[in-house]
Each structure stands twice: as C-alpha cells, then as structure tokens.
C-alpha cells in the first residue's frame, strides 16, 4: 500500500464503484482507499486521507456535480489529480472536464484496459483524452472556431449543461430528477434558468434547442 497509487472512486452507483474497484485492484501498483456517492462524502474522505488520484463521475448524489467537486478541490488539494469517468458524451464534456481541472476523460463504455491506461497516463503528469477528442480540440484551437453550440456550453453551468443534454436526449423532468437524485422542483428551477440564459420563452423551444444542440455535438 505504501508504494501504491492511492485512489478514491466517486460515483453515485454502488455497483459501478465496486466494479471499478475490482478492475483497479488487479494492478499491483494501484489501491482503492475509499468510495463516495456524493461530493460531500468525497470531501470528507479526502480530508481524512489524501489520495493521489480521484476518479469521479459527472452525475453524483448531490446538487454539486463531479465537475463542481473537481473545481472545489483544485485550489485546496492541487497535488490530487482528477480523472473523469462518465457515461456522458465526451464530445460535450471532455474539454469542460479539463477546464474544471481534471487531467483526463474516459467514457464508461471503454474497456478496463483503457481505464487503467488513463490512470497511469494521468499519474505520469500527462493528460488523457481519446484520440478523436484530442484532434477535435486541436482542430478547433488552430482554426479559431467558435460555434453557437460552444457558446451554449459557456453560458450554462455544469449542472445546467448536464440537464440541457438530457432534455436533448428526450428525457422528461421526472426522468432527469430520478437519474440525478434531485427533486423535480430543482429540475424545474434549472430549466427556468437555462431558458433565461438562452433567451428562450417556451418549454417546447427549450426542447427543440436542446435536441439540435445534442445533434450538433455528434457531428
């Protein structure tokens, strides 16, 4: 344990945490020292024993998202590296995760070997992204492009963007509330703020805009 890379897994699904722990602990130089389902639990764990790496999902059992957690810990614990492991579309969230302070982004659909490679890459002080997303980011930087879809990403908070994406994927308010483990009233409040920020008046306009935005991210 003393020579191992110490890891905390932050994910709102216990089965995912258990599966990740089994994958990680097959490696002799990696050790999972704690698990958390919410940002609050994660902060308590980190205060008790500083890990070397935090593997965190975007959606958590709290109003604070995984990206909020990364931002909160970036100043306080700069030594701790963060790797985002999420089911959310990397087209939308990979660059956002880096801006929050994460050192890499891996989709949950990837093979265990890819996740281990991402951990080792991040712990060497390098960034980890899929080659497709790396090229997309580099291309946009060199071309100096700024699309309306990217401006939406800048206007919305992490949680608002997450909900906007879910709306674009056809999910209703109740479904979103259940998946994010927050109240329907909270979702409705976020929907209202999203409409205000995007200059949208009607719910139907919000849905149409979200669908178009999600489609643009997959081109």
Question: For residue range 13-40, what is the model confidence (pLDDT) as tens digits?
Answer: 999 999 999 999 999 999 999 999 999 9
Residue range of the domain that includes 119: 5-136
Residue 83 · residue 128 · CB < 8 Å: yes
**pLDDT tens digits, residue range 164-191?**
999 999 999 999 998 888 899 999 999 9
Same-domain check for residues 53 and 104? yes
Q: Which of 90, 110, 136 is the last residue of a domain?
A: 136
- pLDDT on residue 140: 64
> Which pair of structure tokens corresponds to residue 38?
């919410």
Nearest alpha-carbon partner for 81 in 29, 41, 112, 46: 46
Same-domain check for residues 49 and 127? yes
- pLDDT on residue 148: 46
Same-domain check for residues 55 and 99? yes
What domain count does the chain have? 2
- Residue 154: exposed, middle, or buried by beta-carbon count in 10 A (0-12, 13-18, 19+)? exposed
Residue 76 · residue 53 · CB < 8 Å: no
User: Is the model's pLDDT at 216 over the cut of 90?
Assistant: no
- pLDDT on residue 106: 94
> Which pair of structure tokens corresponds to residue 104?
């890499």
Same-domain check for residues 51 and 121? yes
- pLDDT on residue 92: 78
What is the chain's mean pLDDT, rounded? Answer: 88
**pLDDT tens digits, residue range 136-175?**
777 766 665 554 445 787 788 888 888 999 999 999 999 9
* DSSP classification of residue 79: T
Residue 170 · residue 159 · CB < 8 Å: no
> DSSP E strands: which ranges in the chain?
5-10, 30-36, 53-56, 81-86, 104-107
Q: Which of 136, 162, 195 is the last residue of a domain?
A: 136
Same-domain check for residues 127 and 165? no
């Amino acid at each position: 344990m003393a020579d191992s890379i110490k890891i905390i897994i932050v994910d709102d699904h216990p089965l995912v945490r258990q599966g990740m722990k089994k994958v990680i602990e097959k490696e002799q130089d990696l050790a999972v020292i704690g698990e958390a389902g919410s940002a609050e639990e994660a902060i308590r764990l980190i205060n008790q024993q500083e890990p070397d790496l935090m593997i965190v999902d975007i959606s958590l059992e709290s109003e604070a998202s995984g990206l909020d957690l990364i931002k909160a810990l970036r100043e306080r614990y700069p030594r701790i590296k963060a790797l985002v492991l999420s089911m959310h579309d990397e087209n939308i969230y990979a660059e956002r995760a880096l801006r929050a302070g994460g050192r890499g982004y891996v989709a949950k659909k990837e093979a265990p070997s890819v996740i281990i490679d991402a951990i080792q890459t991040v712990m060497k002080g390098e960034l980890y992204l899929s080659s497709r997303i790396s090229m997309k980011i580099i291309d946009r930087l060199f071309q100096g492009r700024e699309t309306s879809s990217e401006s939406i990403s800048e206007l919305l908070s992490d949680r608002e963007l997450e909900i906007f994406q879910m709306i674009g994927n056809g999910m209703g308010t109740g479904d979103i509330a259940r998946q994010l483990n927050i109240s329907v009233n909270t979702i409705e409040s976020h929907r209202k703020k999203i409409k205000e920020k995007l200059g949208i008046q009607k719910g139907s306009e919000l849905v149409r805009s979200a669908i178009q935005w999600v489609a643009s991210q997959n081109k």
